[in-house]
Amino acid sequence: MEFAVLADAFKKMEDTTKRLELTQILVDLFKVTSPELIPKIVYLIQGKLRPDYEGVELGVAEKLAIKAISKSSAIPIKKIEEEYRKSGDLGHAASIILEQKAQTTFVVEDITVERVYETLFKIAKLEGARSQDMKMKYISSLLNDANPLEARFILKILLGTLRLGIAENTVMDALATAYTGTKENRESLEKAYNVSSDLGMVAKVIAKEGLQGVKAFQITVFKPVRPMLADRVKSEKESIEKMGDKFAAEYKLDGERAQLHMKNGEVKLFSRSLEDIT
Which domains occur in the chain, in start order?
3-47+165-215 (1.10.3260.10), 62-159 (1.10.3260.10), 236-271 (no CATH)
The pLDDT of residue 24 is 96
Contact status, residue 234 vs residue 227, Cβ threshold 8 Å: no
Contact 65, 90 (CB under 8 A): yes
Select which of 223, 242, 252, 268 is catalytic. 252
Distance of CA 243 to the CA centre of its chain: 33
Cα–Cα dist 90/20, whole Å: 29
Is residue 252 annotated as part of the catalytic site, yes or no?
yes
The pLDDT tens digits of the residues spanning 209-235 come to 999 999 999 999 999 999 887 778 888
Nearest to 149, CA basis, from 87, 96, 72: 96
Is the pLDDT assigned to residue 105 strictly greater than 90? no
Segment holding 262, helix H or strand E: strand 258-263
Q: Which of 11, 4, 49 is nearest to 198 (CA)?
A: 49
Nearest to 162 by CA among 2, 6, 1, 51: 6
Q: What are the pLDDT digits (tens) for 256-276?
A: 889 999 999 999 999 988 999
- Look at residue 106 and tell me whether its pLDDT is greater than 70: no
Q: Tell me which of 6-20, 96-110, 202-216 is least confident.
A: 96-110
The share of the chain scoring above pLDDT 90, in percent, equals: 56
pLDDT tens, residue by residue, 118-164:
999 999 998 888 888 899 899 999 988 888 899 999 999 988 888 88
Over the stretch 233-255, which tens digit does the pLDDT of each residue have?
Answer: 888 888 888 888 888 888 878 88
Q: Is the dihedral of CA 154, 274, 127, 119 positive or negative?
A: negative
- What pLDDT sits at residue 108? 67
Across the chain, what does the average pLDDT equal? 90
